[in-house]
Structure 1
Amino acid sequence: MDTERRLLDGLDPEQRAAVAAPRGPVCVLAGAGTGKTRTITHRIAYLVHRGHVAAGQVLAVTFTARAAGELRTRLRALGVTAAQARTFHAAALRQLRYFWPRVVGDEQWDLVEGKLRLVAQAANRVGMSTEAESLRDLASEIEWAKACLVAPDDYPAEAARLHRQPPGPVEQVVQVYRAYEQLKTRARLLDFDDLLLHTAAALEEHGEVAAEFRDRYRCFVVDEYQDVTPLQQRVLDAWLGNRDDLTVVGDANQTIYSFAGASPRPLLEFSRRFPSATVVRLERDYRSTPQVVSLANQVISAARDRPAGSRLKLVGQRAPGPEPRFAEFDDEPAEAAAVAARVRSLVDEGVPASEIAVLFRVNAQSEVFEQALAEAEIPYQVRGGERFFQRPEVRQAMLALRSAAVSPPPGELPEVVRTVLARVGLTEEPPSGGAARERWESLLALVELAEELAASVADATLGGYVAELDMRAEAQHPPTVEGVTLASLHAAKGLEWDAVFLVGLVEGTLPIQHADGDNAAIEEERRLLYVGVTRAREHLWLSWALARTAGGRRYRRRSRFLHGLLPDSHPAARTGQTRQRDGGPGSVGRRTPSKPRCRVCGEFLVDTPAVKLGRCVDCPSTLDEELLTRLRAWRSERARELKVPAFVVFTDATLVAIAEQRPTDSAGLVAISGIGASKLDRFGADLLALVHGDR
């Protein structure tokens, strides 16, 4: 009874209802910050404790290695060590390797290393471009098709039905898709989607395999169920058979991967499929202050046609905190400088740098914020430090720890780890800064991970610690390193910080330009903002800039998603007015920027595409097709040299504007949207040479 009380104590009534629900179908509709991971891990432990299922018969699946690692850590702390917690792909790989001799009968096929190589061969066969960005687009489209169970022959009809924008002529995409599959099969290789396809087929077509698997696993838990694809749902159905011992947890308001085939439909229709299901709604938000929660509710409540299962209204449970800040700036450098200044203030107030994040819609937005943080001497890490285990000092440390584990020195695990790492540079006091400080921070993070393991596992050993490090390295599940996180909104999903800066909130970026005109795509962009807002525990900052470069034309408009979130009397609501360089909310000047006019008809330009072109979309084009071809070839060449996507050099819209306007000097170049001072310095000479026909 003590164990049962421990598993139920500290849970709110809704969490307790989900944990103690009878064995069978359970659907947990869990809003952001409502304790969903705590709920499902306690449910697994409760079912095991009550004898409803053995720990080894539980399979919990989620969508990222980081989330799977978190589930394992939580279950281990609850004394449940035999339950499996894996990603869909990791679970399928394990099962396929085990059943392969019976299903296929010969030597196991290897996993594809570098899918783009095979895609390039397939594209070359059919005469499509083999430039890196084209290959990435083709690979993504093939992944979408397989995730949605769309075969090559069915692709044209499905792409048309769903209004997809194929990365080339549809028939050529089909030919590349078909050739890719043929090349892969002849080489006896599997890609990650094949793991799921073959696992499902093995269970569907081989009764004895299905019987053995279903005898081994009796209870299934799916986290982030709103992100399931048709292929993953097929695998889950194959795992279940005709059983219903399934717990799912998800939040349709956080569906942000529709472009990859994810759909909240299985979550929203769960009770229709399982009429006897227990449905629990978690709406008490323990993560964020009431002020942040209120803003999040305002963001998502403005969504159109919300299905019933997504109408969660968060209720903040924390003590009140500061109001979210809104700020408008003349240009991106001013916005970035203000963000860096506010970050410095928060750090000085005691907020750890690792508990601060700057989030943006696309990765290309990070550069100006990286520069501003560097100039302010504020440490940062891009995209959360996924490459932690590839750092030279960490690899050296792991070698030292692995060697020491053969004959470990006496003592408690954290002290043993600190002693070993002292040999590779961990000192008692941190270096003053620079690369030496970064190295020290990495080593210290390994010590803190040892402390975390020792706190959750009695008599933790150095060997067990090294095994944990190896597992995290394989799963890309790094410990926290001191430094501000710079990440895209998609990459921030599942994470949280004390302070969050949502930056670059302008039309054409959020919502992204290519989403305009598609209501479903626009609503997904709104959910991205909701995800960003709900990452913040206490401090929340939302900002945008009217121009890209210092002194540039202030033609941008704040995101439509911000309308109604701040009163018209708020200084930041006065879009189009100039703000002081310190960017402080409330610092509004008197100047009103001139609106750009069409160079053909003279009308004011409003829409982002028109501003980029410098003319109304309906006005006659003066496009120089030959120049545009030269510009695109040059862009591809520079992108390869710089090892960046082509759009980072220049977007298609900017190249079209150059090919239409044919600028003859630097002033003409910077007058084009997308060409600022830094890009003028890097690429201006090349562009003018291309316009003049000298290249």
Structure 2
Amino acid sequence: MGRVTAAVPPPGSRPADPDAVLEGLDPEQREVATTLRGPVCVLAGAGTGKTRAITHRIAYGVRSGVLPPASVLAVTFTNRAAGEMRGRLRSLGAEGVQARTFHSAALRQLQFFWPRAVGGEPPRLLERKVQLVAEAAARSRIRLERAELRDVTSEIEWAKLTQTVPEDYPAALVKAGREAPRDPAETARIYSTYEQLKRDRDTIDFEDVLLLTVGILQDRQDIADTVRRQYQHFVVDEYQDVSPLQQRLLELWLGERDSICVVGDAGQTIYSFTGATPDFLLDFRTRHPGATVVKLVRDYRSTPQVVHLANGLLAQAAGRAAEHRLELVSQRPPGPEPVFTEHRDEPAEAEATAATVRDLIRAGTPAGEIAVLYRINAQSEIYEQALADAGVPYQMKGAERFFERAEVRQAGLALRGAARAGGANDTALAGAVTLPEQVGAVLAAQGWSPEPPGGTGAVRDRWESLRALVRLAEDFAAGHPAAGLAEFVTELEERARVQHAPALDGVTLASLHAAKGLEWDAVFLVGLTDGMLPITHARTPEQIEEERRLLYVGVTRARKHLTLSWALARSPGGRASRRPSRFLDGLRPGSAAARGRGPGGSGGVERG
């Protein structure tokens, strides 16, 4: 039901023919791409090509005339994901389709309709709310340490995304079974003061963008009708991560229509602390009884060994999400077994990790294809030091934004000036013919050279940033052969606007939450002890299961090499009182109910 199939194109037909988009898709991906009418729910496991499936669906619909480009709104959760989607759609000939985050799409509508709905200029958007929360706490005569300030800010965000007002916050915690990081009454007071400060200063935060857009669409039927005339077809990526507020906004966009395609995996729900819930994904068929449901389980990312471990991890899960788990099937050749390593203390674990990373790089694995992932950001410092001591370059995921770096801003200005001066006609670019050569020539004055500088530190960091721009020019030229400096500068400006940063070289250090949506050839999951994963404050069965899913997300980031490690003590000479994460029971050799080895089995436990 709902499938649209174009006629087989004649020999010599134009590349814009719809069926050209379907080439290379597997049967399930093809079903997603060709089912263009009615509600569609895609249950897509990690590494199964969900972005490929939905972008080809949009492109197939555009090329076949079923989906007018300007009528399609594709929403996801990060600027990086939205940028990647836009890039893929452009390469598939589906220009004109809007691919945005929920917040970006809502902000655009809010700013456009505010004068008509409210009058005057819209309030100023508060980029970061932490400072205002700190002021609200001070006015409430509550002293907050830095970590406590972060906790209260997160609680305010959760309350707003679940549409909870300050006075209802304590009761909402009880109803949700949520454990508050501090006294709920105090948090409610800070929350109330924070809201008053925003009103006094005519500012709004990111959650207000959603709330106000929902309010306008609910209260103004004429505006809702205008939006619905513009957007008639919707695609929602990472649907397991929607909050009740985002779901309400989606319903208002959709109205009484059913042209919606959602994509998600309940097994990767790891953001419940922000109000996200997989219930909307799992209940999709209840709300849309005639929906087409397609499961993507062919894993093109990871080896059978990694997939076997991931499947085994979720096989032990409980709860509603576990009942709908997807059994992945690797499509890759066999690789090395996952390695489990036990260490006497944390410094020994970090040193051993850095040494193995260095060996991988020497054996030919690019540093940019390696990641060290941990549960909380506080764990990064010891790995930063160990990698630096081993002479291994690294980058911090979630650190300073790429386009806000001084060297990147300077490079952008230089490229813009060269483009205005005439690109290849500029004497400074003599001999530079291709776009990458031109970009390299401009950036040479900024410190770029084909060979990296020695050592680490600020000089190396600057070089890595410039190299990322040169590589981005190479990728852009490959997709746009006729493009010059002016077009590349436009691409950079668009990427900066939506914070779609290019990949940097260097081993990635990131929390498990920050690693969602990314992948590497080699992944090191470190600090896997009870109390860290699951984290100590995860006490309810639901919270424990979310911690298990967090580890699952970490495992499924690895394409080939996977190492899972833990330390028995914190410091050298300390008491070896820690135990490996309970989630590894039955998976690591020697643990209770350990699974057998063989194809896709688990390797032995090494001790460092």
TM over 0.5: yes
Aligned Cα root-mean-square deviation (Å): 2.0
Aligned match of 2:280: 266
Question: Structure 1's 34 and 458: CA in aligned 2 closer, same or farther, altered over 3 A?
Answer: same
CA distance in 2, matches of 1:429, 1:119: 46
Give the match's secondary structure for 2:177. Answer: coil
Structure 1 unmatched ranges of 5 or more: 574-583, 590-695
CA distance in 2, matches of 1:554, 1:81: 59
Pairs within 5 Å for 1:17-32? 17-32=31-46
State the AA in 2 paired with 1:108: P
Aligned match of 1:174: 188
State the AA in 1 paired with 2:330: G
CA distance in 1, matches of 2:364, 2:209: 47
Q: Looking at CA atoms only, which structure, 1 or 2, has the larger radius of gyration?
A: 1
Question: Structure 1's 22 and 392: CA in aligned 2 closer, same or farther, altered over 3 A?
Answer: closer
Quick one: higher RCO (CA 8 Å, sep 6+), 1 or 2?
A: 2
1:422 paired to 2:436: no
State the AA in 2 paired with 1:7: V
- Which of residues 94, 97, 106 in structure 2 aligns to 1:92? 106
Query: 1:256: how far off?
Result: 0.2
1:462 paired to 2:475: no
State the AA in 1 paired with 2:446: V
Question: Structure 1's 144 and 587: CA in aligned 2 closer, same or farther, altered over 3 A?
Answer: closer
Query: 1:539: how far off?
Result: 0.3
Pairs within 5 Å for 1:594-609? none
Q: Does the CA contact (< 8 Å) of 2:588 and 2:605 recur in 1?
A: no
Query: 1:114: how far off?
Result: 3.8
Aligned match of 2:502: 479
1:541 paired to 2:563: yes
1:526 paired to 2:548: yes
- Which of residues 387, 395, 405 in structure 2 aligns to 1:391? 405
Give the match's secondary structure for 1:357. Answer: strand
State the AA in 2 paired with 1:547: A
1:512 paired to 2:526: no
1:319 paired to 2:333: yes
Query: 1:53: how far off?
Result: 1.7
Pairs within 5 Å for 1:88-487? 88-307=102-321, 310-383=324-397, 387-410=401-424, 411-434=433-456, 435-487=458-510
Pairs within 5 Å for 1:489-500? 489-500=512-523
Give the match's secondary structure for 2:341. Answer: strand
CA distance in 1, matches of 2:293, 2:591: 43
Query: 1:290: how far off?
Result: 0.5
Give the match's secondary structure for 2:164. Answer: coil
Question: Structure 1's 166 and 563: CA in aligned 2 closer, same or farther, altered over 3 A?
Answer: closer
- Which of residues 51, 56, 60 in structure 1 aligns to 2:65? 51
Q: Does the CA contact (< 8 Å) of 1:386 and 1:477 recur in 2?
A: no
1:71 paired to 2:93: no
Query: 1:532: how far off?
Result: 0.3
Q: How many residues align?
A: 577
State the AA in 2 paired with 1:448: R
Q: Does the CA contact (< 8 Å) of 2:43 and 2:265 recur in 1?
A: yes
Q: Deviations over 1:328-351 (max 9, x none)?
A: 111111111111111111111100
Query: 1:154: how far off?
Result: 2.2
CA distance in 1, matches of 2:536, 2:55: 40
Query: 1:185: how far off?
Result: 1.6
Query: 1:167: how far off?
Result: 4.4
CA distance in 2, matches of 1:569, 1:190: 52
1:567 paired to 2:589: yes
TM-score, normalization: structure 2?
A: 0.91
Q: Does the CA contact (< 8 Å) of 2:86 and 2:99 recur in 1?
A: yes
State the AA in 2 paired with 1:543: S
State the AA in 1 paired with 2:84: E
Question: Structure 1's 456 and 441: CA in aligned 2 closer, same or farther, altered over 3 A?
Answer: same
Q: Deviations over 1:110-140 (max 9, x none)?
A: 0124423332333233332244333322221
CA distance in 2, matches of 1:50, 1:77: 16
CA distance in 2, matches of 1:545, 1:169: 33
CA distance in 2, matches of 1:550, 1:171: 42
Q: Deviations over 1:665-693 (max 9, x none)?
A: xxxxxxxxxxxxxxxxxxxxxxxxxxxxx
Q: Does the CA contact (< 8 Å) of 1:25 and 1:244 recur in 2?
A: yes
Q: Does the CA contact (< 8 Å) of 2:414 and 2:442 recur in 1?
A: yes
CA distance in 1, matches of 2:101, 2:130: 23
Query: 1:25: how far off?
Result: 0.7
Question: Structure 1's 362 and 169: CA in aligned 2 closer, same or farther, altered over 3 A?
Answer: closer
Give the match's secondary structure for 2:514. Answer: helix
- Which of residues 23, 30, 43 in structure 2 aligns to 1:16? 30
Give the match's secondary structure for 2:568. Answer: strand
Aligned match of 2:428: none
Q: Does the CA contact (< 8 Å) of 1:328 and 1:585 recur in 2?
A: no
Q: Does the CA contact (< 8 Å) of 1:268 and 1:309 recur in 2?
A: no
Question: Structure 1's 20 and 179: CA in aligned 2 closer, same or farther, altered over 3 A?
Answer: same
Question: Structure 1's 7 and 127: CA in aligned 2 closer, same or farther, altered over 3 A?
Answer: same
Structure 2 unmatched ranges of 5 or more: 1-8, 10-14, 425-432, 596-602
Q: Does the CA contact (< 8 Å) of 1:413 and 1:454 recur in 2?
A: yes
CA distance in 2, matches of 1:59, 1:236: 11
Give the match's secondary structure for 1:405. Answer: helix
Q: Does the CA contact (< 8 Å) of 1:373 and 1:380 recur in 2?
A: yes
Give the match's secondary structure for 2:537. Answer: helix
Question: Structure 1's 186 and 393: CA in aligned 2 closer, same or farther, altered over 3 A?
Answer: closer
Q: Does the CA contact (< 8 Å) of 2:423 and 2:485 recur in 1?
A: no
Q: Does the CA contact (< 8 Å) of 2:314 and 2:552 recur in 1?
A: yes
CA distance in 1, matches of 2:211, 2:442: 45
Question: Structure 1's 351 and 136: CA in aligned 2 closer, same or farther, altered over 3 A?
Answer: same
Question: Structure 1's 167 and 127: CA in aligned 2 closer, same or farther, altered over 3 A?
Answer: farther
State the AA in 2 paired with 1:492: A
CA distance in 2, matches of 1:253, 1:174: 32
TM-score, normalization: structure 1?
A: 0.80
Q: Does the CA contact (< 8 Å) of 1:386 and 1:476 recur in 2?
A: no
State the AA in 1 paired with 2:515: A
Question: Structure 1's 16 and 89: CA in aligned 2 closer, same or farther, altered over 3 A?
Answer: same
Query: 1:455: how far off?
Result: 1.5
Q: Quick one: percent identity of the two aligned structures? A: 60
